[in-house]
Amino acid sequence: MSPNKHINKIVGETYNLVRNIKIVFSYIDEDIVKKLLVSLIRPLWSPNTRKNIRKIERIQRAANKLAPTLSGVTYEKRLERLELPTLKQKRERGDLLTIYRIMNNQELPNRIDLLKRDRRDTRGHGLKL
């Protein structure tokens, strides 16, 4: 299955899930919305095209409006109140952590020479790429 088809399938299933949650529960508070976002939407793997990233972010935008106290608030304010980073911030943090682990030999990549260290004088900083 191609990545686009896979994302479309996951997005469709998740929209159905969000819709069913809206139908089944008469009231959803902010804590429940946060748990839903963290357990159902955020685990989606990180796509590499803008189109697929937008699809996944649209689901998060829709899902974090479920709580009545969050419905009239902007997306950024809703994330602040739920104490969640944007999906972009989450992806960037994951990338930075992976690079840190590789550079400090905590995680070894399967590829040889994925990152090459700069061998020139780094003035006491040996982790320059």
118 has a pLDDT exceeding 70: no
Q: Which amino acid is at 65?
A: K
Q: Domain coordinates of the chain in residue numbers?
A: 3-84, 86-129
What's the confidence (pLDDT) of residue 72? Answer: 85
Structure tokens, 101: 């682990």
Q: What is the pLDDT of residues 55-105, one digit of tens each?
A: 888 888 888 888 888 888 898 899 899 898 888 888 889 888 888 888 787
127 has a pLDDT exceeding 80: no
State the Cα–Cα distance between residues 15 and 17, nearest whole angstrom.
5
Is the pTM higher than 0.85? The answer reads no
- Note whether 83 and 34 are within 8 A (CB): yes
What's the confidence (pLDDT) of residue 112? Answer: 55
DSSP 35-47: HHIIIIITTS---
Closest by Cα among 56, 57, 70 to 28:
70
State the Cα–Cα distance between residues 33 and 115, nearest whole angstrom.
39
**21-25, 66-70, 108-112: segment of lowest average pLDDT:** 108-112
- Note whether 47 and 3 are within 8 A (CB): yes
